[in-house]
Amino acid sequence: MKDHIINSKIKLYSIFPSFDPLHQEFTFGYCVSDKFSNCFSFNLVNKKGKDNICAQELDNLVLQNSLSSSALIVTDASIKNNIATLVTYVYQANFPLIKIVHHAVFITSSKAELFAMKCEINQACNKNNISKIIVITNSIYSAKLIFNSLLHPLQSHLAAILSKLRLFFNKSQNNSIEFWECSSHLK
């Protein structure tokens, strides 16, 4: 009977690997949120003012980081008629602006946002001269999920992002990632 239960668990994890609570990225003490808690932050653009004040804050953010070794990532996802459109922009000084568009069907907006963030964070982490990644998104909730080690259906995306971030943070103690939330109509 015990062998049957163990075999059932192994089969379950091989079918649903994203639900593996023993994945190293979610192990206590090994979590990115435990080891590198000072390397990431979440920020809200001032929503009290008018749209032009929010746009000014974003302009200042871009100008402050345009000459440094930063990668700015802007993500946006929208769903219409069960088709998700994900648009991401990646900006790095002295390189062309990169625009990537993805389409997916029958997924949630949180999953779409995480997928877009995963693609662009992976791309930024792979560049040797990047020490700071700035992600501008309209879903700070999805960004905060990246560092949530609780068991939930989006774990497969999170494990992939966390693995890349772990390598990125291990390159230098000064490496960091910031998440900025702003509404879609400002991007």
When comparing pLDDT for 12 and 113, which is higher? Answer: 113
CATH 3.40.50.970 fits 23-186, yes or no: no
Question: What pLDDT, on a 0 to 100 scale, did the predictor assign at position 44?
Answer: 76
43, 181 contact by CB (below 8 A): yes
Average pLDDT over residues 114-135: 85
| % pLDDT > 90, the chain | 3
pLDDT of residue 8: 44
3-state secondary structure the chain: CHHHHHHHHHHHHHHCHHHCCCCHHHCCCCCHHHHCHHHEEEEECCCCCCHHHHHHHHHHHHHHHCCCCEEEEEEEEEEECCEEEEEEEEEECCCCCEEEEEEEECCCHHHHHHHHHHHHHHHHHCCCCCCEEEEEECCHHHHHHCCCCCCCCCHHHHHHHHHHHHHHHHHCCCCEEEEEECCHHHC
Q: What is the pLDDT of residue 7?
A: 44
Q: What percentage of the chain reaches a pLDDT higher than 70? A: 70
Comparing 45 with 132, which gets the higher pLDDT?
132
How is residue 11 written in tokens? 């089969």
Most confident of 48-52, 87-91, 108-112: 87-91
Residue 26 pLDDT: 57
Cβ atoms of 86 and 102 within 8 Å: the answer is yes
> Average model confidence (pLDDT) for the chain?
75
Structure confidence at residue 124 (pLDDT): 86
The pLDDT value recorded for residue 162 is 83
Mean per-residue pLDDT, 52-79: 76
Looking at residue 64, its pLDDT comes to 74
pLDDT (0 to 100) of residue 76: 82
**Residue-wise pLDDT tens digits, 11-38:** 444 444 445 555 555 555 557 777 888 8
Between 50 and 133, name the one with better pLDDT: 133
What's the predicted TM-score (pTM) here? Answer: 0.75
